[in-house]
Structure 1
Amino acid sequence: MSRRAVVVGAGLAGMLAAAVLSTAGVDEVIVLDRDELPDGPEHRKGLPQGRHAHLLMTGGLNAMEELLPGVGLRRRLLAAGAHEVSLSSGMLARTPEGWLRRWRREGPSMVTCSRALLDWVVRSAVRDMAPVRFRRAAVVGLTGSAERVRGVRIAAPGGDTDLAADLVVDASGRGTRVVSWLDGLGLSGVRERAVDSGLVNASRVYRVPEGAERFPLTIVQANPYVSRPARSAMVMPIEGGRWLVSCGGSRGGEPPADPEGFLRYTLALPDPIVGRLISGAEPLTDVHLSRSTSNVRRYLEKLPRWPEGFVVLGDALATFNPAYGHGMSVAAFGARVLGRELDRAGSLGAPGLARRVLRGAARSADGAWSMAVSQDVLYPGVRGGRPTPGDRVLTAYTRRMMKAATGSYAAAAAIWDVTSLRTPPTRMFHPGAVLAALAGSPLPPSTEPPLTPGERAVLRGLDRTGV
């Protein structure tokens, strides 16, 4: 009998898992998804956050290139119109402690494009490198027992049908039904935690005005330290000569869906730069809202028993507030764990393989989970958590580090390394980073964005607000 793997979900986690399985020598890899997958970079229903800003951090891109050897993923993305943005020099960032300076030094970067483009490029790369089959289908359960999963059950007009598999990967995202699927096998008691700040995302696409093609990515970050709802906004370059403008507000500070209210929201932020930029830009779409933004952690690895032949990756295991830009990278880290464990085991049926993958994927999500939750619990009206004494100590240190980063390259570099997922959060406690935090900024805080003369002229030329 040939070895078959079934992947549930054709998003990033699913496609990267399919690539890993194919390169590991699995005879047949089938990817199931409810959606009809588009032939190009088009939005689809199965990506609830697909119209909003997504940042592919250095750590995530490196993991993806490792999982897709020889296809030149970074090159493909840039050729398709994606942008590579340096965190040290290519970004204007107003933090709760003030504007970060821009440094003419090497540092981590991120890739910006629409989520539709990213998914399409990754899917095309996987198709080019591996014989993966795609099938439109809705999975309604698992087959097998509490000891071993034998496949999936698929909804069909004439009655459900079963698809046998030696390994099933649940990469179905935020909408996973994994808890009920496990319950159907007699495995109950999954511990879950949800931390929901009530974040609402509102996004609109604009044409980049003539002369503003090289204007830096611009972000006004939310402030979790003032006992008020989160409010933030970002102008991000994407493919096709466009800006994707995303606003985010937690419970009580949600952005509106009407165009005039959207602009007023950006202008009312601690710095109105985003509103000033877009006031003179041509909108290309309506404002799109999304409320599916909570942090959710399913502690599947804690179950006393776990079936062989079943793996859970990506958002199906841990889902993050998308404001932090970590979900795609964590999905890649989980797929990398799958690949490494398959290499060690040498077989889909190796005893304990599924449990080792699950535990490794959970560990790879822990750092991003801690970063997201430790900030979200500070906002008023959050559901599912309150800051612990440990959270408050960490928050005080992080805030001191961020204040130092407004004028200290050493402090800023530590923050960039952690937020880009290039290093674990412990990087913030290396001796050099601690010294930078204790020393503080050697430069006075900047009350104005660090613009070049040319960028300042672009902003003035676009500004229709009179602010």
Structure 2
Amino acid sequence: MAEETVTRRPTTVVIGASATGLFAAAALVDFADVTVIERDRLPDRPQPRRGVPQARHAHLVWSGGVKAFDDLLPGLTGEITAHGGRLVHIMGDMVSRAPNEVWFRRFTATHHRNLVCSRDLLDYVLRNRVLADERITLRQETSALGLEGDATAVTGVRIRTNDEESTLRADLIIDASGRGSRTPQWLAELGAPSITEREVNAGVAYATRLYAAPEATRDINFPLVNVQANPAKAPGRGGIILPIEGNRWIVTLSGTRGGEPTDDLDAFIDFALGLDDPVIGELIKDAEPLGDITTT
């Protein structure tokens, strides 16, 4: 009598419940048991997270990203727009000045759409969608301490929840913890060769402030307003107004070395008015600010 073959589903640990970590979990769940470990406690509504400081700046998901979202998680884009996000025409719903200082022609004869919303909303809908899958286990307030294994294979990750330490065995570990990743150090501790790193520092700084959308813009599909930096002029400076859910505008200004925006409240509008075209500054100079300025 032939022996019965028992197949075990592979196990995967994803470090970090970032957008990257959640998309990775969604991609793997049909092939493996997935555990997501997250250092923080995830919010139960759209709001900023300590571990995602860049989320406060303007984000756009271009049409290729929109398609990728819905290919991996069908209907995800519709869920985001149902919560107040927008799908906007490229370039029909945009007022955008190109780097050569020529304004793009606005047209609607295209199937391409940007997904426009706050990063907080995008992450909130994504979390709800992915973590509703019962095949994915979430362990919040859990820190990754290091890797188990040796120079030939990684077999697990050491974790700490509250004051209790343990090891999660895994066939695959994905580090989605972001720029603070300690994976190179952990691999070196296992005797693996050092990882070659190449850094490209563009020297770009960002400053963002939320504004209440002016009353006259609230009942229309107010366009994105974008002034791109001219790379032939140093320092490069640009900005964008991104109308988002909740009748708010995300206003993000950017500049390269020597022309960086700051968190100085008095200087924010002056910076916007000082761009090669002052349209962003003119639109926000009488608008109501919501909170302080965030820089990255």
TM-score by length of 1: 0.59
Q: Which has the higher helix share?
A: 1
| Gap runs ≥5 in structure 2 | 1-7
2:261 to 249, 255, 259: 255
Q: CA deviation at 1:146?
A: 2.2
Runs of 4+ in 1 over 3 A off after TM superposition: 155-160
Q: 1:259 to 1:149 in 2, by over 3 A?
A: same
For residue 124 of structure 1, what is the aligned residue in structure 2?
A: 128
Q: CA deviation at 1:4?
A: 2.2
For residue 31 of structure 1, what is the aligned residue in structure 2?
A: 36
| Gap runs ≥5 in structure 1 | 291-467
For residue 4 of structure 2, what is the aligned residue in structure 1?
A: none
Q: How does 1:264-303 map to 2 (within 5 A)?
A: 264-290=270-296
Q: How does 1:19-418 map to 2 (within 5 A)?
A: 19-24=26-31, 26=32, 28-69=33-74, 72-97=75-100, 98-135=102-139, 136-155=141-160, 160-213=165-218, 214-226=221-233, 228-290=234-296
Q: Does the 8 Å contact 2:152/2:192 carry over to 1?
A: no
Q: Does the 8 Å contact 1:267/1:273 carry over to 2?
A: yes
Q: Give the % identical residues.
A: 43
Q: Does the 8 Å contact 2:16/2:177 carry over to 1?
A: yes
Q: Does the 8 Å contact 2:211/2:289 carry over to 1?
A: yes
Q: CA deviation at 1:119?
A: 0.6
Aligned counterparts of 2:147 and 2:63: Cα–Cα separation in 1 = 35
Aligned counterparts of 1:7 and 1:42: Cα–Cα separation in 2 = 22
Which residue identity is paired with 1:6? V
Which residue identity is paired with 1:233? G
Aligned counterparts of 1:45 and 1:188: Cα–Cα separation in 2 = 33
2:81 match: secondary structure? helix
Aligned counterparts of 1:10 and 1:269: Cα–Cα separation in 2 = 37
How many residues of Structure 1 are paired with residues of Structure 2 in the alignment?
285
For residue 308 of structure 1, what is the aligned residue in structure 2?
A: none
Q: 1:134 to 1:264 in 2, by over 3 A?
A: same
1:6 and 2:13 aligned: yes
1:17 to 21, 24, 28: 24
Q: CA deviation at 1:163?
A: 1.4
Aligned counterparts of 2:132 and 2:41: Cα–Cα separation in 1 = 19
Q: Does the 8 Å contact 1:231/1:249 carry over to 2?
A: yes
Q: CA deviation at 1:156?
A: 5.5
Aligned counterparts of 2:173 and 2:111: Cα–Cα separation in 1 = 39
Which residue identity is paired with 2:199? A
Q: Which has the higher strand share?
A: 2
Which residue identity is paired with 1:116? D
Query: What do residues 63-106 of structure 1 show as CA deviations (whole Å, max 9, x unaligned)?
Result: 1211113xx11110101111112112111111222111112311
Q: 1:159 to 1:77 in 2, by over 3 A?
A: closer
Give the alignment's Cα RMSD to 1 decimal.
1.6
Aligned counterparts of 1:251 and 1:280: Cα–Cα separation in 2 = 29
Q: CA deviation at 1:139?
A: 0.9
2:226 match: secondary structure? strand
Deviates more, 1:119-128 or 1:180-189: 180-189
Aligned counterparts of 2:107 and 2:68: Cα–Cα separation in 1 = 26
Q: CA deviation at 1:209?
A: 1.0
Q: CA deviation at 1:2?
A: 5.5
Aligned counterparts of 2:269 and 2:163: Cα–Cα separation in 1 = 50
2:138 match: secondary structure? strand
Query: What do residues 226-251 of structure 1 show as CA deviations (whole Å, max 9, x unaligned)?
Result: 2x112111000111111000011111
Q: Does the 8 Å contact 2:209/2:251 carry over to 1?
A: yes
Aligned counterparts of 1:241 and 1:211: Cα–Cα separation in 2 = 11
Aligned counterparts of 1:160 and 1:223: Cα–Cα separation in 2 = 52
Q: CA deviation at 1:48?
A: 2.0
Q: Does the 8 Å contact 1:88/1:107 carry over to 2?
A: no
Q: Does the 8 Å contact 1:22/1:130 carry over to 2?
A: no
Query: What do residues 29-59 of structure 1 show as CA deviations (whole Å, max 9, x unaligned)?
Result: 2101111111111111110201111111111
TM-score by length of 2: 0.91
Aligned counterparts of 1:179 and 1:45: Cα–Cα separation in 2 = 23
Aligned counterparts of 2:28 and 2:15: Cα–Cα separation in 1 = 13
For residue 379 of structure 1, what is the aligned residue in structure 2?
A: none
1:286 match: secondary structure? strand
Deviates more, 1:272-281 or 1:132-141: 132-141
Deviates more, 1:188-197 or 1:12-21: 188-197
Aligned counterparts of 2:210 and 2:60: Cα–Cα separation in 1 = 16
Which residue identity is paired with 1:96? P
